Amino acid sequence: MKNKILSVHNIKVHFFSNKQFYFPWQKREFIKAVDDVSFDLFEGETLGIVGETGCGKSSLARAIIKMIPIASGKIMWMGEDLSAYNKTKMQKIRREIQMIFQDPLASLNPRMNIGEIIAEPLRTHYPKIAKNIIKDQVKEMMKKVGLLPNLINRYPHEFSGGQCQRIGIARALILKPKLIICDEPVSALDVSIQAQVINLLKDLQKDLKLSLIFITHDLSIAKHIADNILVLYFGKTVEMGLSKELFNNPRHSYTKKLISSVPIPEPRLR
C-alpha cells in the first residue's frame, strides 16, 4: 500500500463579484468555481484533472496551495490539515509542493537570467546557502532537465518555449518537492515539444518518486501520463477513476463527449 500524501475533502472555492456595496438584506453574489471536489493522491502517482476551459481546474490547483482562499472543505497534506496552517507553517509546505505554469515564457521574469530564476526557490527557502553551492545545484538541475549548463547566464527570451518550460521544471524541482502541480504545462507548446516535455516529466517522476497533479484540457495527454483521472465540469466532479478504465468505459455522458472529441491520427483505423 502506498502512502497517501494529499487528500482533498469536499473543497469549495467561491469567487465574489466585484460589487463593493451591499445592503444588509442582500446576499453577496458569487460564482462557484470549485464545488465540492474530493480526491486522494498517493506517493509517486499522477492525478490528471481534465475539463473544458473555465471549469475550475486552475482554481482547484491554486486552492490546494492556498494561493486563493477556500470557502469550505479540508486539505490534508501528509495527514495534516493545511487549511489551519498559518503563513510560517505554510512556508515549509511550499518547499514540498511546487507548481509549473501554463505559459512558459510569461512565468519567468524577463529581467532575471535563468541562473537566478532557477535559484530563486533555494534563495528564498534557504537564504544561508553559499553562492557557489547554489550555482552547482542549479547547473546539476539544468543537466537533469536537459539544458546545457553553460546557458546559465542567458535571459528567458533567448530560449524556445520548450526550453522555457524546462527552466520552469528545473525551478520547481530544485527544492526536491514531493508534489508538483502542473497547470497546463504543455498547452502552449508544439505537439512535438509537448511529447518531449511530458516524457521528461515522466522520467523525472520515476527518478525522484514525485507525485504529480497534472491539469490539462487535452485528454490524450492525460491518458498518457495520468494514473487516475478526475473530470471536472463547471466546478463539479463528473467522473473519477483509473485512467484506463475511464477511457475504455466512460460512464458519464460528458466524459463520453470529451473522449469522442479527441482527434485520432488515423481516422480509418477507428
The residues of the shown chain that bind another protein, judged by CB under 8 A, are 62, 65, 67, 90-91, 94-95, 98-99, 101-103, 106-112, 120-121, 124-125, 168, 171
- Which one, 111 or 268, has the nearer CB to another protein? 111
CA distance 261 to 82: 37
Smallest separation, CB 253 to another protein (Å): 35
- Which one, 67 or 133, has the nearer CB to another protein? 67
- Which one, 106 or 264, has the nearer CB to another protein? 106
Three-state DSSP class for residue 200: helix
Smallest separation, CB 91 to another protein (Å): 5
Three-state DSSP class for residue 144: helix
Q: 198, 225 in Cβ contact below 8 A?
A: yes
- Which one, 58 or 255, has the nearer CB to another protein? 58
- Which one, 74 or 125, has the nearer CB to another protein? 125
Beta-strand relationship, 4-16 and 228-233: unpaired
Smallest separation, CB 120 to another protein (Å): 6
CA distance 108 to 161: 11
Smallest separation, CB 171 to another protein (Å): 8
Three-state DSSP class for residue 134: helix
Smallest separation, CB 103 to another protein (Å): 6
Positive or negative, the CA dihedral 183, 189, 195, 199 is: negative
CA distance 117 to 100: 13
Give the distance between the most distant pair of CA atoms in the chain.
Answer: 64
Q: How far is CA 223 from the centre of its chain?
A: 16
Dihedral (C-alpha) 33, 217, 41, 58: value to the nearest 10 degrees?
-40
E strand segments, 63-153:
72-77, 80-81, 97-100
Smallest separation, CB 49 to another protein (Å): 17
Smallest separation, CB 127 to another protein (Å): 10
